[in-house]
Amino acid sequence: MFKLLESLLIPIAALVLSLVLFSVFIWFSGTNAFEVLGAIYRGAFGSWFSWQNTLVRSAPLMLTALCTALPARIGLINIGGEGAMVVGGVFATLVGISINGMPPFIVISAMVLAGMLTAGMWIGMVGALKHFRNVNETISSLLLNYIAIAIMSYLVLGPMRDPATLNNPSSFHIGVANMIGNIGESSIHGGLIFGLVVCLVLWILMRYTTFGFSVDVIGGNIRAAQISGLPVGKLILITCFLGGAAAGIAGVIEVAAVQGRANLSLNSGYGYAGILVAFLARHNPLAIIPVAILLGGIRASSGLLQRGFDLPDATTMVLQGIIFIVILASEFMYGRIKWLQPRVATHA
C-alpha cells in the first residue's frame, strides 16, 4: 500500500515540478505560460480529435519503450530500439511482399512473426556481445542502430526497391488488402492494440512468473544470481530478445498500418523517444502505457504551440527534457520520505 502510494506520488510530484519549471522557461521567452499549458492540454487531451492524435502517436512509443525497459530490468542499458524497429519493419516487409496474395490474416501474422524474430535477434546480439564478450551494451546497441539503418538503405534503394517510387525510394507495396485498419470508427490504427497487449503481457511476465523474478534478481545483483545458480546468460539473451521483438512489432505496424512500404521514413526517431518513455516508466511495462500516452500527448500538442504561439518545435523538446531530468532526479526520493514509509513496529 505504502509502496504503491509512493510510486504514484513521487512521479506525480515530479511531473508537477516539471510543469512549474517549464512555465518559468516559457515566461522567460515572453509568452503566457498558463495559455501555453492550456494549449498543451487541449492539443493532447482536450477533445476526441486530440485524444486520437495522442493515442496514435503513443502506440509505437509503447513498443519501442519495452526495448529499453526489459533489458534494463536485467541491468543492461539498451538504446537499440531505433535499429530494432527498422530491422523488424524491413524484414517484415520482405516477408509481406514475398507472400502477398495469400489471405491477409496469414500475411499479417507472418509479418509480425518475421518482425519479432529479426528484431529480437538484433537486440539478442547486444545481449550476446555483453554476456560472452563483455562489450558495453549501450555502445553496441547504439552502433547497431546505424548498421540497421544502413542495411535498410541498401535494401530499399537496391534489391527491394519499387522502380515506380522515383524520388521517395521505397520497397514494393505489401498490398492494400494486407494493411492493418483503424479501430472501429476512430482514426487510430490497430497498432495501439498491439502496444497495449504487448505491454500487458510483458508486465504479467515480469511480475507474476519465475522468469520475471529471476530477471529482477539478476538486475539487482548479478553475482548473487550467479551464485544461486540462475542461468544468467540464457536469461540475458531471452530478455534482450523480448525487448527487441517488441520494437520489431513497432516496425511492422509502421509498415502494415501506416506506410504500406518500407522506406527511409521507418527511421523517424520512435526508437529514441522510447528510451525516454522507458526511463520515465521506471522500466515497468504497465507504467509504460500511461507514460507513452503522456509523451504522445506532448508530441501531439507541439503543432498547436507552433501554430498558435509561434513557438518552435523545440519547446516540447524542452518540456520532455525537463520531465526526464526531474523524474530521474526524483529516483533519489524513494524511501526517503518519512510519512510514505510503512510504519514498522520497533521493539527495543
Q: How far is CA 164 from CA 44, 90, 161, 167, 169, in A?
A: 38, 19, 9, 9, 9
For residues 93 and 42, give the distance between their C-alpha atoms in angstroms, rounded to a whole number.
37
Sign of the CA dihedral running 215, 242, 240, 253: negative
Q: Which of 189, 247, 279, 284 touches other proteins by CB under 8 A? A: 189
For residues 270 and 247, give the distance between their C-alpha atoms in angstroms, rounded to a whole number.
9
Window 55-74: residues binding other proteins (CB under 8 A): 56-57
268 in contact with other proteins (CB under 8 A): yes
Residue 10 sits at φ, ψ, to 5 deg, of -65, -50
For residues 156 and 166, give the distance between their C-alpha atoms in angstroms, rounded to a whole number.
12
Helix (H, G, I), strand (E, B) or coil at 170: strand
CA atoms within 13 A on the CB side of 220: 9
Q: Which is nearer to other proteins, 100 or 306 (CB)?
A: 306
Q: Which of 205, 264, 333, 340 touches other proteins by CB under 8 A? A: 264
Question: Identity (one letter) of the amino acid at 73?
Answer: R
Q: Which is nearer to other proteins, 75 or 191 (CB)?
A: 191
321 in contact with other proteins (CB under 8 A): no
The nearest distance, CB 53 to other proteins, in angstroms, is 5
Cβ count near 324 (within 10 Å): 17
Q: Which is nearer to other proteins, 196 or 217 (CB)?
A: 196
Q: Which is nearer to other proteins, 141 or 263 (CB)?
A: 263
The nearest distance, CB 25 to other proteins, in angstroms, is 19
Window 147-186: residues binding other proteins (CB under 8 A): 149-150, 153-154, 157-158, 165-170
272 in contact with other proteins (CB under 8 A): no
Site size toward other proteins (CB under 8 A) is 48
Q: List Cβ<8 Å contacts ≥24 apart for 291-294.
A: 291/65, 292/58, 292/59, 292/61, 292/62, 292/65, 292/195, 293/54, 293/55, 293/58
39 in contact with other proteins (CB under 8 A): yes
Q: Which of 298, 300, 322, 327 touches other proteins by CB under 8 A? A: 300
Binding site for other proteins (CB under 8 A): 39, 41-43, 45-49, 52-53, 56-57, 149-150, 153-154, 157-158, 165-170, 187, 189, 254, 257-260, 263-265, 267-269, 299-300, 302-304, 306-308, 312-313
